[in-house]
């Protein structure tokens, strides 16, 4: 594609950037538990910097001990400068400019995590946390302003080229800006002028410490998308005050914990999600504007700049999925970019405390070597099953020079992900499948569809190595009446909701049960999810679970937990709840009772073939991430 703007040089204050791409702050949880920079932190930022973005922003670091979350970064004391200087050095070694983001979580954390009382402008809890914070005294407010400025000076002393204040997403600074979370009656609350005072004082104090030439970037939510929060009109008023206070660039994100999907726009939101918020703010300020939010292709990035909506584009998850995003644009290899599909598995891993990882980039997390070195001995390899595990294994093995044949019993590639991608809110998974297809073709994998492999076939082919990625099958529970005609499998209903009647009971409240209920409710049906356990959607990553449960509630899906199944009758499902028999009336019963590994072939061949491996759901049913990671880990070593 012809790109004129995105690769042109740009300036933020006195800082010249090679191109218009910025890697925004993305918390990784790679730091040590006590907030110190780890080797993984340094390695990560150097890897991202090697991809050629103009500016790399290091994730939010707390400016005060009370904001320290386990495995988050801590820049609240001078002793942290040394660790941070190693990150700055690593980024700059790659010829890229480096910024570091500063924050305090305010009320959007939990005292269980920080070991401190939560505090905020007012004693109002944030919904997903529900912990009532303490209202900050004026003395604490002034102390905190000093902490932000001191930490900014540390950013400079550590060798960074710029600092960014995190004034978005509902954290402490945003807490002051928002009329929804700031109900103070002193000079820090009330009018817009007053709500901006905390931010303005931080900027002024920082300027005194870092000098005129050191660029200060400021991130705000251009809209909070919460009831009684601020909208774009107030965001414009805030932007003007921040510009006047001396910031060098404004970075326009959106949302907070109660409008979570705006912070990390999922796959069913528009691309370039917040570009119009950036555009509105750009109209009224003179300083550069950075736009962020699903800018995951060079086309969208170029369009935002050409239309004058922003001066820079931040690509976050896009560079996690493919750290060489910018490099590939520079070398006219855009078609090789592994696209981020906004599945937010990275977010789920972060909130699950496991460190950021990505389905498109098995390297991320840096838990095992992913160096694709040529194999010392070229082998004849058969891979059975073309789900994500089989496809990823085939790609890596073929890239290393092996002779790889991939066999799939169905008529297309993708495995269970084809089903996962069917509901209207998960269409983004098709991009994942098509990028795997493209990579398999480029790597020279020999693909055989409509071929069910058995032990006879494998014996006849006599390969050196066999990798079984045979996935799973749907479990059919032993319930009286399961054979009745109105009992359907979730798999069939996801593909064709018209097979269901108007009143449906779904057996199983895991991933599949929750998703099929939304599909049914969306097509106008009454859906009730029943579950033996107590937690609906357990085992699903946190952000995905939140969105699913929210969607179910909004669409009127009913649920009943802690039941045991008695029998399926013509009238519906009979359950036992608290010792009482209950008939849940339904004209259709949908079975979503989980998956079981399909490893029959492995059982037959395990004592015959020396190099026989089992990967993905065929070992244990999990998610795409484990499938691609296991596949990579295995095949880099064969
Ligand atoms: C409804 C639903 C929604 C889901 N949503 C998500 C999600 O949003 N995110 C996520 O990360 N995970 C999701 N999952 C889980 C995810 O799909 C699986 O974890 C993942 O697909 C496992 O990959 P795999 O390659 O191990 O197995 P599979 O994807 O199951 O692939 C196995 C393949 O092997 C083939 N095969 C089997 N036996 C043979 C044989 N003998 N010969 C030839 N071919 C054979 C099968 O046809 C199949 O194509 C979802 C699962 C379901 C059921
Ligand atoms: C795992 C993860 C961690 C994040 N951590 C931060 C953070 O520390 N500070 C911040 O301002 N934004 C954070 N964000 C938001 C991103 O900077 C960015 O605004 C968001 O991902 C949308 O942009 P994208 O579509 O390019 O990813 C995080 C996003 C993700 C996915
Ligand atoms: S895990 Fe999903 S959302 Fe996160 S970077 Fe990778 S592809 Fe994008």
Mean pLDDT, consecutive 10-residue stretches, the chain (638 aa), reads 86 97 98 96 98 98 95 97 98 98 96 92 89 96 98 98 98 97 97 98 98 97 96 98 98 94 92 97 98 96 97 98 97 94 95 94 91 91 98 97 98 97 92 96 97 96 97 95 96 95 96 95 96 89 85 94 95 94 96 95 94 98 96 96
**Is the CB of 108 within 6 Å of ligand 1?**
no
> Which of 287, 122, 106, 116 shows the shortest CA–CA distance to 189?
122
Closest ligand to Cα 267:
3
Q: Which atom in ligand 1 lies closest to the alpha carbon of residue 512?
A: 1
pLDDT of residue 352: 87
171 is catalytic: yes
> Which of 426, 425, 427, 429 shows the shortest CA–CA distance to 554?
425
* 30, 171, 602, 613: the active-site residue: 171
Report which protein residue has its CA nearest ligand 3's atom 6: 358
pLDDT of residue 546: 82
Mutate to test the pocket of ligand 2, among 316, 323, 431 (most ligand atoms within 8 A of CB): 316
Check: CB of residue 518 under 8 Å from CB of residue 528: no
Instruction: Give me ligand 2 centre to Cα 432, in Å.
Output: 20
Instruction: Give me ligand 1 centre to Cα 5, in Å.
Output: 41
Instruction: Give me ligand 1 centre to Cα 219, in Å.
Output: 39
Report which protein residue has its CA nearest ligand 2's atom 23: 293
- Bridge partners for 292 per DSSP: 314
* Helices and strands per DSSP (H, E), number in the chain: 22, 28
pLDDT of residue 573: 96
pLDDT of residue 3: 67
Instruction: Give me ligand 3 centre to Cα 404, in Å.
Output: 27
Instruction: Give me ligand 1 centre to Cα 75, in Å.
Output: 43
**Is the CB of 267 within 6 Å of ligand 3?**
no
Distance CA 481, CA 489 (A): 14
Mutate to test the pocket of ligand 2, among 264, 273, 343 (most ligand atoms within 8 A of CB): 264
Report which protein residue has its CA nearest ligand 2's atom 4: 26
Closest ligand to Cα 489:
1
**Is the CB of 317 within 6 Å of ligand 3?**
yes
Report which protein residue has its CA nearest ligand 1's atom 5: 420
- Bridge partners for 15 per DSSP: 12
Closest ligand to Cα 274:
2
Mutate to test the pocket of ligand 1, among 471, 495, 529, 594 (most ligand atoms within 8 A of CB): 471
Q: Which atom in ligand 3 lies closest to the alpha carbon of residue 317?
A: 5
Q: Which atom in ligand 3 lies closest to the alpha carbon of residue 264?
A: 3
DSSP class of residue 559 equals E
3-state secondary structure of 52: coil
Instruction: Give me ligand 3 centre to Cα 427, in Å.
Output: 14
Long-range contacts of 231-236 (CB under 8 A, 24+ apart): 232/277, 232/280, 232/281, 234/179, 234/192, 235/277, 235/280, 235/281, 236/280, 236/281, 236/284
Question: To which residue do tokens 């292709």 refer?
Answer: 297
From residue 523, give the alpha-carbon distance in Å to each of 87, 138, 417. 51, 54, 22
What sign results for the dihedral spanned by CA atoms 62, 66, 69, 71?
positive
Check: CB of residue 532 under 8 Å from CB of residue 513: no
pLDDT of residue 544: 83
Instruction: Give me ligand 1 centre to Cα 409, in Å.
Output: 13
Distance CA 490, CA 589 (A): 9
């Amino acid at each position: 594609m012809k790109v004129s703007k995105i690769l042109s040089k740009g300036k933020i204050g006195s800082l010249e950037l090679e191109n218009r791409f910025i890697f925004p702050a993305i918390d990784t949880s790679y730091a040590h538990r006590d907030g110190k920079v780890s080797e993984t932190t340094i390695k990560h930022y150097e890897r991202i910097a090697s991809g050629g973005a103009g500016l790399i922003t290091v994730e939010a670091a707390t400016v005060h001990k009370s904001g320290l979350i386990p495995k988050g970064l801590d820049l609240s004391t001078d002793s942290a400068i040394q660790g941070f200087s190693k990150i700055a050095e690593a980024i700059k070694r790659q010829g890229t400019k480096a910024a570091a983001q500063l924050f305090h979580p305010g009320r959007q954390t939990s005292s269980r995590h920080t070991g401190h009382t939560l505090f905020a402008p007012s004693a109002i809890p944030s919904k997903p946390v529900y912990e009532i914070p303490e209202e900050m005294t004026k003395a604490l407010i002034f102390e905190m302003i000093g902490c932000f400025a001191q930490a900014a000076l540390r950013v400079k002393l550590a060798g960074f080229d710029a600092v960014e204040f995190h004034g978005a997403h509902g954290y402490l600074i945003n807490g002051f800006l928002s009329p929804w979370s700031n109900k103070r009656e002193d000079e820090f609350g009330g009018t817009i002028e007053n709500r901006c005072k905390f931010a303005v004082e931080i900027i002024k104090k920082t300027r005194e410490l870092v000098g005129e030439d050191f660029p200060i970037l400021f991130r705000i939510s251009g809209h909070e998308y919460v009831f009684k929060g601020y909208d774009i009109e107030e965001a414009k008023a805030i932007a003007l005050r921040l510009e006047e206070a001396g910031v060098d660039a404004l970075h326009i994100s959106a949302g907070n914990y109660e409008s979570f999907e705006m912070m990390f726009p999922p796959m069913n939101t528009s691309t370039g999600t917040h570009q119009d918020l950036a555009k509105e703010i750009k109209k009224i300020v003179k300083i550069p504007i950075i736009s962020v939010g699903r800018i995951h292709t060079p086309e969208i990035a170029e369009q935002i700049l050409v239309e004058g909506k922003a001066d820079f584009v931040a690509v976050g998850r896009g560079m996690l999925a493919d750290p060489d995003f910018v490099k590939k644009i520079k070398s006219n290899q855009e078609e090789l970019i592994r696209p981020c599909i906004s599945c937010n598995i990275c977010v789920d891993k972060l909130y699950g405390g496991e460190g950021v990882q990505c389905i498109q980039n098995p390297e991320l997390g840096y838990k095992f070597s992913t160096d694709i070195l040529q194999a010392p001995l070229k082998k004849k390899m058969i891979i059975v099953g073309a789900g994500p595990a089989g496809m990823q294994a085939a790609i890596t093995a073929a890239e290393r020079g092996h002779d790889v044949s991939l066999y799939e019993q169905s008529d297309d590639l993708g495995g269970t992900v084809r089903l996962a991608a069917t509901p209207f809110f998960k269409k983004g998974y098709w991009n994942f499948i098509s990028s795997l297809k493209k990579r398999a073709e480029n790597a020279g994998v020999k693909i055989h569809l409509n071929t069910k492999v058995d032990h006879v076939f494998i014996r006849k082919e006599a390969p050196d190595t066999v990798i079984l990625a045979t996935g799973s099958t749907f479990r059919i529970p032993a319930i009286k009446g399961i054979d009745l005609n109105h009992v359907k499998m979730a798999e069939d209903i996801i593909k064709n909701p018209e097979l269901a009647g108007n009143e449906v009971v779904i057996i199983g409240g895991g991933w599949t049960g929750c998703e099929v209920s939304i599909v049914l409710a969306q097509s106008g049906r009454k859906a009730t999810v029943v579950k033996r356990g107590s937690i609906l959607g357990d085992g699903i990553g946190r952000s995905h679970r939140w969105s699913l449960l929210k969607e179910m509630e909004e669409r009127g899906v009913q649920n009943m937990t802690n039941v045991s199944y008695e029998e399926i009758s013509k009238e519906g499902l009979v359950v036992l709840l608290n010792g009482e028999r209950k008939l849940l009336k339904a004209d259709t019963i949908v079975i979503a009772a989980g998956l079981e590994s399909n490893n029959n072939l492995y059982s037959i061949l395990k004592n015959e073939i020396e190099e026989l491996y089992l990967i993905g759901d065929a070992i244990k049913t999990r998610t795409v991430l484990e499938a691609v990671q296991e596949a990579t880990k295995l095949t880099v070593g064969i």
